[in-house]
Amino acid sequence: MVDNKGINTKHSYHIRGMHCGGCAKAVEQNLSALPQVKTVKVDLEKKLAQVESETPISLSTLQASLENTSYAIEGPVN
């Protein structure tokens, strides 16, 4: 049996609608609020968010975390 504890998933996603540092912070806060998310790093220049989680997170779950904002998440980016 393989022990998967301590193994994380990490994916990058395109974020639409970010224009400034405040936008990037808002995206980071919304994605970080998901319980399975460990870290979020947002790159405003590249319009990307790198999400690290303990378990895989569906794109629909990530999209739902930004639902009431002016931002949209697409991906993952290869």
30-78 pLDDT, tens digit per residue, is 999 999 999 999 999 999 999 999 899 999 999 999 999 999 999 888 6
pTM for this prediction: 0.85
Q: What is the pLDDT of residues 6-16, one digit of tens each?
A: 558 999 999 99
Contact 62, 31 (CB under 8 A): yes
pLDDT, position 8: 82
Which stretches of the chain are DSSP H helices? 21-32, 59-65
Of the chain, the end-to-end C-alpha distance in Å amounts to 30
pLDDT, position 77: 84
Contact 52, 13 (CB under 8 A): no
What structural domains and CATH numbers belong to the chain? 9-77 (3.30.70.100)
Q: Which pair of tokens denotes residue 26?
A: 């808002």
